[in-house]
Structure 1
Amino acid sequence: MKNFRRLLTVFLACCMTAAPQNAAAQSPLKTSSSVPPQVELMYVKGLRYLQNAQKPDGTYDGTYGREPGIIGFCLMSVLAHGDDPNAGPYATMVRRCVDYILSKQNKGSGYIGDSMYNHGFATLALAEAYGMVRDDRIGPALRKAVALTLTAQKKNKSGGWRYSPDATDADSTVTGCQLVSLFAARNAGIPVPDAAFERGLKYMASCRNKKGAYGYTGPEGPRVTLTAIGSLTLSLARLKTDPSFRDSLAYLKKHLNY
């Protein structure tokens, strides 16, 4: 779980650096800025590695190679590159990823995987795929996944999320993950009530100290990665003019090691 949490913070921190000015109307994975040739070459090499290393069932070797959240990462990396996901060079990889994620969803509850980390990232991947990948199963699966996320929040007295759908406490990493997935789902056309965002952002604010830095379950012990997650949720909520966002950005600029 600790290593999975590290993957989360790295991923969301990367999203934070790429989030456009009107991020609530766009995917956090897409940016209009030009990509240097060297970066494009690295990206393509990475995609080819993922394509060649993928097993027929859509999984990979390693400790986390069968986690639906990790498969979601792989799917999003392809979709973000801009190739045709249905007939392009990575179409088989896309299909395998989608098939695997859907196979790990509980048909009754909509829960994907065995933790809210997996569920959140898999939901985010389905939201990114919805409307891009020709697969009639994605829409219904995404709606069920979003419904599970919203139900889990209603059960949670803090207004956030943690490892289990039945959790009554929360932390900024799992909550940040769910908020990003809900923003993506709403952008894809899935109804998400404003109250869900308001409650989630309120919990995130409870983890932010006076300097704009975020901690794990409260303002104590702030970290750069957690602050990136908190800043991303504010960006997606179109709150980049809020003083708290500016404070968080200043904290990141001061503490990031380049």
Structure 2
Amino acid sequence: MRFLVPFLLILSATLRGQDLPRRTDDTIPAQVESMYVRGLQYLGKSQNAQGSWTDSVGGEPAVVGLCVLAFLAHGEDPNVGPNAPFIRKGIDYVLSQQNSGNGYIGNSMYNHGFSTLCLAEAYGMVDNPKIAPALKKAVELILNAQKRNTRFNAWRYTPDSKDADTTVSGCQIVALLAARNAGVGVPDDAINKGLAYLAKNRDSEGGYGYTSMGGSKPTLTAIGSLCLSLAKSKDSKEYKNSLEYLKKNLDYRDRYYPYYYEYYMSQALFHADEAVWRDWNARNIRYMATLQNRDGSWPGAQGGSFSTAGALLSLALNYRFLPIYEK
């Protein structure tokens, strides 16, 4: 996996704050708050002057976008307050990585998809007039890449790819749905074709494979399940089968991309069945507590910035600030 991942915006919307669904029915677990604050402190201290991070993947706009989302998911004010500079510098960095001609952000569709998601979630929260036009261009690139991929109607590593896989495609679908939620025009046909591609990679047990039905994995199944949830398509037998598949794998850990899995699994279960999510969340809190370093970071082969952002975002459903967490 490579990280390294008709339009009209009403003027008044750029000035509004989105109605953020922070939970009010119970308190945030103290252990979660402690871990989260320490993680954000690490990200703040390790961000460079350009708004990116200096570890092995910290210059990738996808990683910067995920770090920004980790701040926003905690309810940090992006316009004022101690963490506002980190958020704003991160967004400025993502914007600086966009091709002014075609709207492509970074050098892979992983970078582009997660950067688009970041801009979509930041839109309406962050007072930056550059976000709206950049988000529009980013969405147009995703849509145009899908149109060019006439065989699969989906996505892979570059905008010109003629093949597809479930991880890159899921990333673009989530970004499109977040952009739609922010007010960007995204055709139903684009979403439906993307979901149809994912369905071709789903087996009879509800598990999703990478480029076929074979070799299903919880990580891929979480991605497919989340896309259906966000598209408001949760009534099918196939969706229910995927939930059962995930329920059988609550103790699964992805050996190669653990925080990528945690990031998607938390969202997939929350949107599918909150009781199941609470069970998984309790396990995840305990697991993340055993891994967090003394400096607040989480260890991982992809670098401290990505690992820490992924770990924090796996805990972020405890706060439910981001618009994409709305049910």
Please indicate the TM-score interval, normalised by the length of the shorter structure. 0.7 to 0.9
Partners in 1 of 2:250 and 2:85 — Cα distance? 38
- Unaligned 5+ segments in structure 1 are 9-26
Q: Say yes or no: does 1:146 pair with 2:162.
A: no
Q: Say yes or no: does 1:51 pair with 2:44.
A: yes
Q: Say yes or no: does 1:133 pair with 2:138.
A: no
Task: Say how many residue pairs are matched.
Answer: 236
Partners in 2 of 1:185 and 1:30 — Cα distance? 17
Could you say which residue in structure 2 is the equivalent of 1:81? 74
Match of 2:158 among 164, 168, 176: 164
Match of 2:245 among 223, 226, 251: 251
Match of 1:241 among 232, 235, 241: 235
Q: Say yes or no: does 1:231 pair with 2:225.
A: yes
Q: Say yes or no: does 1:63 pair with 2:56.
A: yes
Q: Say yes or no: does 1:186 pair with 2:180.
A: yes
Secondary structure, aligned partner of 2:191:
helix
Partners in 2 of 1:35 and 1:147 — Cα distance? 38
Q: CA deviation at 1:137?
A: 0.3
Secondary structure, aligned partner of 2:98:
coil
Q: CA deviation at 1:255?
A: 2.2
Partners in 1 of 2:109 and 2:237 — Cα distance? 30
Q: Is the CA contact (8 Å cut-off) linking 1:58 and 1:93 kept in structure 2?
A: yes
Could you say which residue in structure 1 is the equivalent of 2:93? 100
The answer to which structure, 1 or 2, has the higher relative contact order (CA under 8 A, 6+ apart) is 2
Once the two structures are superposed, what CA deviation does each residue of 1:50-95 show, in whole Å capped at 9, x if it has no partner? 0111001011122101000000001001111112110022110011
Q: Say yes or no: does 1:202 pair with 2:196.
A: yes
Q: CA deviation at 1:242?
A: 1.4
Partners in 1 of 2:93 and 2:222 — Cα distance? 30
Root mean square deviation of aligned Cα: 1.7
TM-score (norm 1): 0.88
Percent of counterpart pairs with the same letter?
Answer: 55
Q: Is the CA contact (8 Å cut-off) linking 1:216 and 1:226 kept in structure 2?
A: yes
Partners in 2 of 1:30 and 1:142 — Cα distance? 23
Once the two structures are superposed, what CA deviation does each residue of 1:183-235 show, in whole Å capped at 9, x if it has no partner? 00000000000000000000000010011000000101000100000000011
- Unaligned 5+ segments in structure 2 are 6-17, 252-282, 284-327
Q: CA deviation at 1:35?
A: 2.2
Secondary structure, aligned partner of 1:255:
coil
Match of 1:90 among 78, 83, 98: 83
Q: Is the CA contact (8 Å cut-off) linking 1:57 and 1:100 kept in structure 2?
A: yes
Partners in 2 of 1:233 and 1:96 — Cα distance? 29
Amino acid at match of 1:177: C
Deviates more, 1:89-98 or 1:200-209: 89-98
Could you say which residue in structure 1 is the equivalent of 2:30? 37
Partners in 2 of 1:184 and 1:213 — Cα distance? 24
Partners in 1 of 2:243 and 2:95 — Cα distance? 37
Amino acid at match of 1:142: L
Secondary structure, aligned partner of 2:248:
helix
Q: CA deviation at 1:30?
A: 6.2
Could you say which residue in structure 1 is the equivalent of 2:14? none
Once the two structures are superposed, what CA deviation does each residue of 1:104-147 show, in whole Å capped at 9, x if it has no partner? 00000000000000000000000011010000000000000000
Match of 1:217 among 211, 218, 225: 211
Q: CA deviation at 1:31?
A: 5.8
TM-score (norm 2): 0.70
Runs of 4+ in 1 over 4 A off after TM superposition: none
Structure 1 pair 31/245, CA: closer, same or farther in 2 (3 Å)?
farther
Amino acid at match of 1:62: D
